[in-house]
Structure 1
Amino acid sequence: MGSIIDQRNLDYDRLAERGGERPPRESAGRAASVAGPESGSEAGNVRENVNRFTGHRSELRADRVPGFDGGEERSESEFIAKAKSYAVSVADAVGFEAGVAPEFEADPTVTTTSEGMRVVSLQQMSNGIEVWSMAPKVWLHSDGAVDRLVGDTVSVPPDLPAKPVVAAEAALLAAVREAAKARTVRSNFGDDELPQLEISEGDFTRLSFQSLPARPMTFSRGAFAEDIPARLVYLDMGGSFRLTWFFTLSREDLIVQYKAFVEADEQTRDPEAPEILYFYDSASHAVGGRVITRNPGQTDFRDVPFPLPVSEYPVEPPVGFPAFGSWTDPVNGKLATVGNNVRALNGTTRKPFEITASPSGGVFAANADSPEQFVTNIFFFCNYMHDFFLMLGFNEESGNFQAINPGGVGRGADPVDALAHPGRVVGTANMSTRADGVAGLMNMGLVTSTGRHTANDSDVVFHEYVHGVSNRLVGGMLDAEGLNEDQSVAMGEGWSDFFALTINNFPGTLERVVTGSWVTARESGIRQRPYDSRYPGTFGDIGKGAGEVGGAGNADLSYQEVHDVGEIWCAALMQVTREVGAALGSKERGYRVTWQAVVDGLKLTPKNPSFLTARDAVLRAFKSMKGTGRLADGEYTGVRGAVWEAFAKFGMGFDASCPNATFSGCRGGTALPPEGVED
């Protein structure tokens, strides 16, 4: 992901503008307590997590907020109503100005963590129009008691314009002209040139329109890969708000997916030629049968059953976990690399690998390094990841990737379309995630410098698949758009590296700490340093360039780009895994408990989080395991201390702070929480 145009003032400090005054900690009739990384004062037992850009608290913990009456099971709509009511009731404690009644819409699906915490995703609105990037989550216990509200909100003027002075067609023309430009797509596998698209104004006709305040509509695709959705969105420019037309424009195979915000209000100088205020690429580009189960440098080809037996996974399935459905079923006497979870296709022909089905089944066996073998391998890897994360709770209600949802929740119709391109493809490897009900798209291609294919390397395929998981769990099922700010995008890279390495490390005695080494034929892989306990980068290094990172031998390190910054997050999670295993006296339990805490933490994490927001979600996920079958009370004490030690080692201690989720103002800290402070 990369920002191409951004006219927002990301250095804007709403706190400084109002003299450093923070929102009141308590409001009459509103029981709430403040918690989170401190901002601007000495750390104590109470920390204030205030986003200086919005001037609002990013976390508000509930205190004495009762749950539902009675003990009967409650519906999702009741949890949603409770969450919305709570968010409105604590508006001034969060930071909304007096007399401003906030407006929220909720994702109709309530996510549940492994320990039963309900998570309701909200979207701030004004005049029935979305306020971009302001999407908090409310955590509720199973009895309906509110735990806390986390995520960003902002006070908007009551007189924001709701009627555009710019026609959608004029705004679209500005967006498509920018999206059609030739560009260089960069990755650690090399640079590719995205060619100029030839477009004309008549290429784009309106296909649909809804008479809602946001005026959602769809235009024909023209030279782009998909039809173009449009709607009105309010964009916080830093102290002021603009009404904009918002478009999503996809190039071939979703190699890039541009998000464009084009001015639409009365501030527009020329309604016939409006300006683009914000424009970025949201696609994730990797920098990072008879199948290869890791990569050819580690494992040989072996015949494995499709699907794999549960014993082949490093995760212990929940009690009563149902048997997996078939990865693929015979159709007209044929078996193909197409099933409920994955549609693996040749990227050139757009056809699956097919074999003749026999009474006993069949084996997808193909010559090594053939197009059919690449398709088979990507089919195996993606199905493996589907089942692995299903065991950890990335299921139908959380927005996983399935054509049909047997449980009847979620939208279905969205397996991963995994394209194994026989040769080079722009970007080499990527994954595009759309809302629940719209298929994810993965591209894997040949690394021309080595002649090795990314479809054969679990480091790369696992990394890209995890982008789909993190985008859906943090972003929510409605749009999967939860990782847009710099720290958020960087963590997307870190989560992907973390799972790619730890899944393969589980069964062995040696810990791999380098990713992408086989496909690039570089011992150092695709990252700046190995992810061992000596990894040098810390949270306080974010934003520093080469020569600015402290410590001997670190002059070449730089933390000004999202993949590099993501290394810090991955290194911290790797250390958490080691420390938890040591605290429990078992590497295997350490891996399993940490995987579950990270997945539950993704569900708890609000849109556009900072490292510290996501850290707190992981800590809260571990706390939910206290006294359950997963962690005994005594074990939890040791695990909590180990997790804090690991985060503190990488500068994310109790005294760490940052003003928002950008790369500016990150202050590292190594302090552990004072006694008595709860996570």
Structure 2
Amino acid sequence: MVSFNKFFTSVLLAIAYASATSAFAVPADSKHATHRTRLVGRGLKVEAFHPSSSYETFGTGIDHPLSKRADTSIEDASVSFVESHLKIKSSAIKFRTGYTAESAKHAYVSQVHDGIPFANAVANIAYNHDDKVVAFGSSFVKPTSIASSTPSVSLEAAIAKAEEALDGKFNSHPATLEYLAKDDGSVVLTHVIQIQNESAGTWYQAFVDAHSGELVSIVDFVSQASYLVLPITKEILTQGFETLTDPQDLTASSLGWHNSGSGATTTTSGNNVLSYKGSTSSTTSQSSSPLNFIYPQSPSLSPTTTANVNAARVNAFYIGNTIHDFSYRYGFTESAFNFQTNNFGKGGAQNDRVTISVQDSAGTNNADFSTPPDGQSGHMRMFLWTFTSPQRDGALENDIVVHEYTHGITNRMTGGGSGRCLQTTESGGMGEGWSDAMAEWTEHTSSSVPDYVMGQYVINDSGGIRTHPYSTSTSVNPLRYSSIKTLNEVHNIGEVWANMLHNVYAALVSAHGWSATARTNPNGTEGNVVFLHLFIDALALQPCNPTFVSARDAWIQADVNRYGGANKCLLWNAWASRGLGVGASGFTDSSAVPAGC
């Protein structure tokens, strides 16, 4: 979500997420990490609970119980490790999914009872290529009571309840039966159903108690906000459109941007992205053959004029595909749960390209991204902004489009493609921060790291839509880990995380230099290349619903996995400079770093 914290955040629905460590009652002051309260439907208040995640990293790695077996599968190794590490029976563990990335192998498992998985009790295990465990996160629970595994409320009745409560309709995505841990230590059996209201732009996963019929929890898939194109290195259209020839990266998009393997298109529709206005058939066609999309934008005219609508659809299509391509290079691939219609047999679920609705009629002065599980399309909505005359189009401010797409990356890669693992206030805040940091990463054009401002074009204000520019200067941006004590809204929390990442980026570039080819060549040693590798690698390593502390630890472990820990002290010093040092906990600052740093 590209919300704006300078103006009326109070009127925007704050989507709260949190990270977790046990299934028992949680003190009110720590609820950022385990709860999120939402107003849904016709004013219904739902407080979702997510068991807190324990998280451990192991540097160069430790053995799992089956290490000495030459033919052990990742499924067997993962179940065995969880069984041994948590001292639970293998019958309570179910392997869900996994994949092999460049610097690590990743496995995701669920807690089960009577063969039924827990929705919010999950674990993730990472292995290095020596088959040693390097990271382990778990939100497994020890229930005080658990409901019968045979439902007494029918699926049909549960659907009716969810539709009424959430003011939407069941979207026919297959419903499931899953257990759900509650914060009082009990576990309920639930029907899990997807409910959408397309006109309102809502998309929920509802958990209806299969014995009482009560709506007990939700997952909100929407992260709101917040050819002749504006190149992705530019933030705002006043910097000038350019005609780019063949910008696709054929390593990431093997058939280009207009072909999914079943024939080529001549519109803003392809394997990775569909950009449209109003209906998915309302795309922009090539202006001339072959595949020229040259539609000059007229800033003095309304954005709804035909020429400006075409310019918006083309720019959104270009930006969406460009993000797909460079994030693919760094590890957001088919097997890592990315967005493609055709996965070409490379793993993961397909038929889930990103759909981008430009000038969406459902709102103004905002943007959002919905991230359902792997195999269902991510959906971006770009709105018009009303602070100027004529109005301005969010699809023509590149940092907003990048911000929204990045919600798809972070929601898919955290937790193994479920779309469920940035659902607490704290982790949801980090989701906003990652999105701002990715937008900034795309716009650097040299080793200089100036202060960075988000969203200045759409509101016609050089100060942008955040409370402070992102900066290495504490006088320009004073936000620290302890600042979160006074914050309870995800965008404000996100600013703290994004500013920490700004400082990490600056330190890496200062130490290692800057590469002009980072988007297409991830093999360099320059600081901006290292930054994006650690950014993407850490997403897969961190636990479901991470905290600032566990996300920091995932970055440190990612550096061990990929670079042998070469950046350990640099990273620790950057985190510690903003209060996230060795002893940081409970939003109390620490400036300490490990011995030797």
TM-score with structure 2 setting the length = 0.81
Going from structure 1 to structure 2, the CA distance change for 1:509 and 1:54 (only over 3 Å counts) comes to closer
**8 Å contact kept, 1:335–1:357:** no
Structure with larger RCO (C-alpha < 8 A, sep 6+) = 2
In structure 1, the residue matched to 2:529 is 592
Q: Does 1:236 align with 2:162?
A: no
Distance 2:540 2:320 in 1: 21
Unaligned stretches of 5+ residues in structure 1? 17-51, 181-196, 198-220, 269-273, 311-320, 545-558, 628-635, 659-665
Q: Relative to 1, partners in 2 of residues 1:66 and 1:59: Cα closer, same or farther, differing over 3 Å?
A: same
SS in 2 for 1:574: helix
Distance of aligned partners of 1:560 and 1:54 in 2 relative to their CA distance in 1, 3 Å threshold:
closer
- Within the candidate set 196, 206, 210, 1:250 is matched to 196
Match status 1:542 vs 2:484 = yes
Q: Does 1:81 align with 2:23?
A: no
Output one character per residue of 1:325-384: Cα deviation in whole Å (capped at 9) or x when no partner: 3112599997211111111112357421112653x5433435434211111110011011
Pairing 1:268-307 to 2, within 5 Å after superposition: 268=212, 274-279=213-218, 281-287=220-226, 289-293=227-231, 294-307=234-247
Q: How does 1:409-488 map to 2 (within 5 A)?
A: 409-421=347-359, 425=363, 428-450=366-388, 451-477=391-417, 479-488=418-427
Moved more, 423-432 or 82-91: 423-432
What SS does the aligned partner of 1:260 have? strand
1:606 to 533, 537, 543: 543
The residue that corresponds to 1:560 in the other structure is: 488
1:515 touches 1:526 (CA, 8 Å); kept in 2? Answer: yes
Return closer, same or farther for 1:253/1:647 CA change in 2, 3 Å cut-off: farther
Residue identity opposite 1:594 in structure 2: F
Query: SS of the residue aligned with 2:420?
Result: coil
Identity of aligned residues (%): 26
Distance 1:300 1:616, change over 3 A: same
One-letter identity of the residue aligned with 1:571: N
Q: What is residue 657 of structure 1 aligned with on the other side?
A: 585
Give 1:3 shift.
7.7
Answer whether contact 1:91 1:102 (CA < 8 A) is retained.
no
1:635-661 residue CA offsets vs partner (Å, 9 max, x unmatched): x54x21111011112221110124xxx
Task: Look up the equivalent residue of 1:299 and give its one-letter code.
Answer: Q
Q: Do the aligned partners of residues 429 and 5 (structure 1) sit closer, same or farther apart at CA in structure 2, a change above 3 Å counting?
A: closer
How far off is 1:601 after superposition?
0.5
Q: State the shift of 1:543 in Å.
A: 3.5
Mark the CA change 1:157 to 1:486 in structure 2 (over 3 Å): closer, same or farther.
same
Asked whether the 8 Å contact 1:83–1:146 carries over to 2, the reply is no
In terms of mean alpha carbon deviation, does 245-254 or 562-571 score higher? 245-254
Question: Residue 81 and residue 70 in structure 1: after superposition, are their counterparts in 2 closer, same or farther (change >3 A)?
Answer: closer
- Larger Rg: 1 or 2? 1
Length, aligned pairs only: 537
Q: Does 1:343 align with 2:283?
A: no
Ranges in structure 2 where 5+ consecutive residues have no aligned partner: 2-12, 28-48, 517-525
Residue of structure 2 aligned with 1:59, choices 47, 56, 61: 56
The structural deviation recorded for 1:283 is: 0.7
Q: Counterparts of 1:504-519 in structure 2 under 5 Å? A: 504-507=443-446, 509=448, 511-519=450-458
Q: Does 1:503 align with 2:442?
A: yes
Name 1:620's counterpart in structure 2: 557
CA change 1:11–1:390 in 2 (3 A) is closer
The SS at the match of 2:239 is: coil
Deviation sequence 1:203-250 (CA, Å, 0-9, x none): xxxxxxxxxxxxxxxxxx4xx666573534323233222223332211
Maintained 8 Å contact 1:230/1:248: no
Distance in structure 2 (CA, Å) of the matches to 1:390 and 1:127: 38
Q: Deviations over 1:392-439 (max 9, x none)?
A: 111111111111123532222221111112666367311111222221
- Cα gap change, 1:307/1:67 in structure 2, threshold over 3 Å: closer, same or farther? farther
SS at structure 2 position matched to 1:135: strand
Native 8 Å contact 2:582 2:594 kept in 1: yes
Distance 1:169 1:364, change over 3 A: same
